[in-house]
Amino acid sequence: MRALTNDYKDCKIIKIDPADPTSPYGVMQEGYDPNDPTYRTRMFYLQRDGKWIDEVARSTRPDSEGGDVLFESSAEALELLGRLRGKPVVRDLPVSKDDVKNYLARVGSGSSPQELLRQFLLFGLIMVLTFTGSLSVAEAGRDDVRTMLIGALGCNLAWGIIDGVLYLMGCLAEKGRGLLTFRAVRKATDPKEAHRLIADALPPVVASVLKPAELEAVHERLKQLPEPPERARLRKDDWLGAVGVFLLVFLCTFPVVIPFIFMRHAGPALRVSNAVAIVMLFLTGYAFGRMTGRHPWLFGVSMVVLGLILVGMTMALGG
């Protein structure tokens, strides 16, 4: 059992995606907080401000803070470690038992609710663009515009409800999978089997750098946690997330169709509508780039190109 330090020799610097030459890096270290009287061993991540944050507390933070634990290169991470002196500073964040359970339920999943929301936003934009793009500027009258508006709003209303239901189903499946893994690890009598289950529940890049002793430490900490509930249940946050998905898919229709409501001629309205859609696609890509630690501007432009390609394919296939 070792205390957390600022010594680079005690840290692991990992490349988030070894196959990607532009992938950012993260700094990990297992140990206990020097200020923790219980000497509880945890996994910590180094933030760009020089403070450390443990794995469970990190999972409670919004995705907008994802870049806080990412570095452009290993040299940048080592340079920061070289400037840190004295006792390490651990970010003090409250963590409840529910936070621990939610973390365990999420570690095996490749998509967080926030990532799903971004996917739903992109889907909603593409749906409404297929309606506005099908409008003939040369021949469209007010009746055609009204028909397009009703179709776009109705379609996104229906898909907002469907996506909300699918979101809840995904949350329930994710929680159930996490509970099954949790129970299996706690009941495992063979340490190797427990280690395999834990490694399978972790992202591959994280599991690949953990040694048997570290996996055993995780195993012991899991056995010390309270008994899990009988079955997975949807919580208030899940229902609010589903409502958020519905509103996101439905409301993203309005910025794109508003020009047709307030502008008399279809031609200028279509140009303004397309400009609004391009800006929204760019902002979606920009936010995704920041969340993943990549180049936001490049992702923003890529999202615009991808969105336009998908719209073209949808219209060509009769969507």
CA end-to-end span of the chain: 60
For residue 193, name the pLDDT band (cuts at 50, 70, 90). Answer: confident
Looking at residue 62, what is its pLDDT?
A: 67
The alpha carbon of residue 49 and the mean position of all alpha carbons in its chain are separated, in whole angstroms, by 22
- Looking at the predicted structure, is the pLDDT value of residue 55 above 70? yes
Q: If you average pLDDT over residues 174-193, what whole number do you get?
A: 84
For residue 270, name the pLDDT band (cuts at 50, 70, 90). Answer: confident
Looking at residue 131, what is its pLDDT?
A: 56
Looking at residue 277, what is its pLDDT?
A: 78
How does pLDDT run across 121-151, given as a tens digit for each residue? 555 666 566 655 555 544 455 566 667 667 7
- What is the percent of the chain where pLDDT is above 70? 71
Looking at residue 226, what is its pLDDT?
A: 79
Residue pointed to by tokens 């899991």: 222
Query: Structural domain boundaries of the chain?
Result: 8-95, 113-174+234-316
Distances in Å between the alpha carbon of 242 and those of 3, 203, 249?
Answer: 41, 25, 11
- Looking at the predicted structure, is the pLDDT value of residue 77 above 80? yes
Looking at residue 189, what is its pLDDT?
A: 84
Distances in Å between the alpha carbon of 72 and those of 4, 50, 68, 88, 294?
Answer: 24, 15, 11, 22, 9
52 vs 204, higher pLDDT: 52
How does pLDDT run across 283-315, given as a tens digit for each residue? 878 877 776 666 788 888 887 787 777 666 655
Looking at residue 145, what is its pLDDT?
A: 62
Looking at residue 113, what is its pLDDT?
A: 43
How does pLDDT run across 79-118, given as a tens digit for each residue? 898 898 888 998 877 766 666 656 555 544 444 444 544 5
Distances in Å between the alpha carbon of 191 and those of 1, 183, 204, 221, 274?
Answer: 19, 14, 19, 13, 58
For residue 119, name the pLDDT band (cuts at 50, 70, 90). Answer: low
